[in-house]
Amino acid sequence: MDVDAVSRQLLDGLGGRGNVLSNEACMTRLRVGVRDMSLVDLEAIGRVEGVMGVVEADTLQIVFGPGRVNRVLEAFSGLTGIARGSERMDASSLARQNKAQGKARHTGPVQAFLKRVANMFVPLLPGIIAAGLINGLANVVDHACGGALGGQWWYEGVRTMGWALFAYLPIFAGYNAAREFGGSPILGGIAGAVCVANPSMPLLGTYGGAQAILPMTGAVYNPAMGGLVAALLAGALSAGLERQVRKVMPSVIDTFATPLIVLVVGGIAIIAVLQPLGATLTQGVYAAMSFVYERLGVLGGFVLSAGFLPLVSVGMHQALTPIHVMLNDPSGPTGGINYLLPVLMMSGGGQVGAGIALFLKTGNERLRGYVRDSIAVGLLGVGEPLMYAVTLPLGRPFVTACLGAGVGGALATLFHIGTVSQGVSGLFGLLIVQPGQQLAYLVAMVAAYASGFALTWLFGVDEDRIDEVYGT
């Protein structure tokens, strides 16, 4: 692919250099901010070599796939004269930015909630993934070596890094929650610390031979009772309380008085109200998951896996991130084993099977090219190119891919497959599957491939629709 030629064609389709305000790239997409959407020719952009799809959001997102997008960004940034990640700010672009912010404030409550969830957890994912892998690998090593490495300083040091994230995760959660809700992050972090089980906590100390008893429950305080949910609520409460106090606090004493009030009042509220509330919500989440996973069995696995791709297509899958974190917590009820993730990972398998069926059956060379470019990364768990460039635009293959994924999800439930971490999918999922379950995982994934293939081959290929979307 000639990235210079591609970049010039993109710039023409975007209305020229003066219409481009920003350029950035994520794993698969070139994200471009434009001044005037009426100057953009979406059909022309869609015909540019290598473009797998175009998504209209706050920015125009042009899907290229992993690897290619960074090469295109480098050439495109040179043409626009805008450094990667920066924005050309003038009066009109500032107006556009303010308009976008105003629009964001008036989006639906569900979308706003999911965006906040993502903002709170996405910064934590690198640590959660690494710590989960450390814990899982340590379990494998201990089992294989019979605990022979126990007591070795370097080995226990590595294990400590895996332990530390989950032991103090409420602090990080409270910190990010306060920041997301417009408060001082450090106050949210302190609020989250109240949810960390540490025997050195004064509230857990022994005084006169007895521990402090809470008047609300008549029992000793249990920091971990509300779990991660309580920490998130604590961070949000801290931010909200801080904003309200600052409205009435004289500026001359605001610097020290406001944080003091937030910690004192907020601390009492967290212990008396948010911890019990967090415990109730956490128990509700686990009860719902238990009902779907254990009571509904393979039917529940089918529904979860088949319904996951539609959630991904609209960005609602971010709502599951806190659930994955709780399931991978070694101190949680599942002992750090996530039984939900393998079920959802089968959704990528259904897409791969559907893509292969389309590639072998269609005569449309443009579609075949898109599938060829997308299938390899799809096998490795990156499903965006296949979904946005192939199955979703065609409609019917998207449905058959979802149904094929459901078969894999049903088997993942039947085999009771679990993972020790998160962050990878597809065949890379073998790296995080619980030791001894790799073969079962492969069987379920191959079933998703085969089911997505068969259903798409039989019911998902409509050449008229393909020619309508991709041209003849």
Q: What domains are there in the chain, each with its CATH number?
A: 3-106 (3.30.1360.60), 114-290 (no CATH), 299-470 (no CATH)
Question: Would you state the pLDDT for residue 314?
Answer: 55
Catalytic residue from among 26, 145, 195, 402: 26
Residues contacting residue 33 through CB under 8 Å, at least 6 positions apart = 20, 21, 22, 23, 59, 60, 87, 93, 96
Residue 203 makes CB contacts below 8 A (sequence gap 6+) with 212, 221, 271
Q: How many CB atoms lie within 10 A of CB 318?
A: 19
pLDDT the model gives residue 103: 46
Q: What is the pLDDT of residue 451?
A: 97
Report residue 359 as tokens: 């590639």
Residue 25 CA to residue 247 CA, distance in Å, equals 39
Tens-level pLDDT at each residue, the chain (472 residues): 788 999 999 999 999 988 888 888 876 788 898 888 889 999 899 889 888 888 887 788 898 877 688 788 888 988 887 877 666 644 334 334 434 544 444 455 655 665 677 677 767 767 876 777 787 677 768 767 878 888 899 999 998 998 888 788 889 989 999 998 989 999 999 999 998 888 889 998 899 889 988 877 788 888 877 777 888 899 999 999 999 999 999 988 998 999 999 999 999 999 988 888 877 877 776 777 778 777 788 999 999 899 888 877 655 565 577 778 778 888 777 788 888 899 999 999 999 999 999 999 999 988 888 888 788 878 888 777 788 778 887 889 999 999 999 999 999 999 999 998 876 788 888 888 988 899 999 999 999 999 999 999 999 999 988 888 777 6
Instruction: Report d(CA 432, CA 423) in Å as an integer.
Output: 9
**26 is a catalytic site residue:** yes
Question: Helix 341-361 vs helix 438-459: angle between axes, to the nearest 10 degrees?
Answer: 40
DSSP 8-state symbol, 17: G
Query: Left if phi > 0, otherwise alpha if psi is -120 to 50, otherwise beta: which for 334?
Result: alpha
Tell me the whole-structure pTM to 2 decimals.
0.58
For residues 406 and 399, give the distance between their C-alpha atoms in angstroms, rounded to a whole number.
11
8-state DSSP, 292? I
